[in-house]
Chain A
Amino acid sequence: MPYCQPDDPYRQKLLPEDHGKSLPADATRIDTPDALKGRLQEAIAIEHFTIPPYLCALYSLIDGKSGPNREAYQIIRSVVMEEMLHMLLAANILNAIGGEPKICHPEFLPQYPSPLRHSQIGFEVGLLKFSKDAVNTFLRIERPAEQIVPPDPGNFWSIGQFYEAVREAIQRLHKQAMETNPKKGLFTGNPNKQVTGEFYYGGGGNLRPIYKLEDAMFAIDEIVGQGEGIDGTIEDSHNILFGDEIEIAHYFRFNEIFCERRYRRGDKADASPTGKPVKVDWNAVYNMVPNPKMRTFAGLPAVLQKVETFNRIYTDMLRTIERACSGHPQELLKLTPLMYELANRAPELMQLDVGNGQTAGPSFEFAS
């Protein structure tokens, strides 16, 4: 049973000396509430950014949750649900400080392959079928902060450091705002716009409403905790024990797939997992064409039509989230059914031969 050896060629890519392009000059310290709102809108986009790539990998597993890669399926699916939750939490924070989450518009959807938005690390993230390469990319996206050198003010190395800046800004700006508005401070948003677990299910954690500073801090802890793991440990803020399992941060969950082994209590953050084997069949995957676009299928109208339908449903999902976060929280009830519809349609796309032994796939492009 293979698991990560120190000289595993993939493992070496995890200790990079990556240098990429700098972020634009205005990506500096967050000085005003408006700048903070902008950064929170960015947070929503960041959380969303990884969802289509993770979903492509997920959907490309043959027979999905009942097939040979069902453990990997469960793992990736749980990460997606948490990213979804992070999106909603970020939208809640934005709403709480009087902002307006914008989700359903063409600019929101990245053009894959695309570099990580917040990061100086220049590697690109694409829409790819499940593979060692793809999972390796996921590891790089999610990697914990302490593995990397400290950042510049405007350029962040990891998602955790991005949120650290947001957290600091919220505390500082709220303190300032309390001088003129001692009751609410920064948290002037309409409380009825908060989305809660009342209309949301599907795992991913607690969808808490944000009414005051402590709530916002807790929410950021949740986002960072689930994403990276706390301070070099493997557990996340849930720290739930059930039998051998522990709830573990995204990075480590992907590592369980990569190394084909589960973590267990006592394992260290900088070493490979030593728990039960995870069954992975790297070949039981649909050979989806990399980074599909609608124009890729221009010559196959029947296939194009199906890809368009998928994209329309995905856009509908974004519309539903935006509506839910604009004062209609009960719209969230439609979210899980929409995700299931996508999960049912995507494998259909991956059955369609488009030449070169490759199949069609979802392109996650905006389609009104």
Chain B
Amino acid sequence: MVINLTQPMSDPGLPVFRAISSHLTGYSEVDLEGTGMLTDYFTTLMKEQDHEGIRLFLLKAEEILRLHLSDAIEPAIIRHFIELPATASRPNTPFDEISYQGLAQRITILWYTGVWTTMNWLGKKSQPDRTAVISARAYQQGLIWLTAQTHPAGAKQPGYGSWSRKP
């Protein structure tokens, strides 16, 4: 599959990005689309990450998605995107041999919080070293609030007395 990363609006990479995001976040593709952030997040990805890295990541994602069944997809995600091969700490290690530089993790965090984290990816124990909320809308559309059975602080107000009842 040829992935053209220059035009996000009709980018063939978008459906792959959406599908893999669904598996990473645990939310359906329709849920993700409903946030209205799909294009914005994809654009952020392209702005913050080198395009070759994105290309390799999306290719691998597509390969994983072809497995169809989540029983097969989940272990594949773990193997390729989460776990850290022993070679990771060597300098000049090829991009795809170090878990795609934590791109899966950063995409997950982006969907949940609207924050893009940059970090030196050296494995599970890495600490993000710079974080920024990408936009006011991204903050409000973060999945974390829905997950916690609430709403973003300062937005989507639920109305007087709502906090006295179970959500």
Contacts and interface: CB of A to CB of B under 8 A. Distances in A.
Contact of A352 (B33, B137, B157, B158): B33
Interface stretch (A50-58, A142-150, A174-182, A337-345): A337-345
A225 interface: no
B148 interface: no
Interface in A326-352: 333-334, 336-341, 344, 347-349, 351-352
A303 B30 CA distance: 7
Contacts of A348: 34-36
Given A306-B34, A334-B161, A348-B35, 12 more contacts: A63-B137, A333-B160, A337-B158, A337-B159, A340-B159, A344-B151, A348-B34, A348-B36, A351-B35, A351-B36, A352-B34, A353-B33
B161 A306 contact: no
Q: Which label, helix, strand, loop or mixed, suits the secondary structure of the B interface?
A: loop
Interface residues of B, number: 16
A336 B160 contact: yes
A349 B34 contact: yes
A356 to B, nearest CB: 15
Interface residues of A, number: 20
A201 interface: yes
B70 interface: no
A233 B9 CA distance: 50
Nearest to B157: A340
Contacts of A201: 160
Contacts of B151: 344
Given A344-B151, A352-B30, A352-B34, A333 B156 contact: no
B67 to A, nearest CB: 21
B160 A306 contact: no
Counting chain A CB atoms within 10 Å of each CB, the highest count among B28, B33, B35, B159 belongs to B159
Interface in A236-262: none
Nearest to A286: B36
A78 B99 CA distance: 53
Contacts of B157: 340
B93 interface: no
A149 B119 CA distance: 73
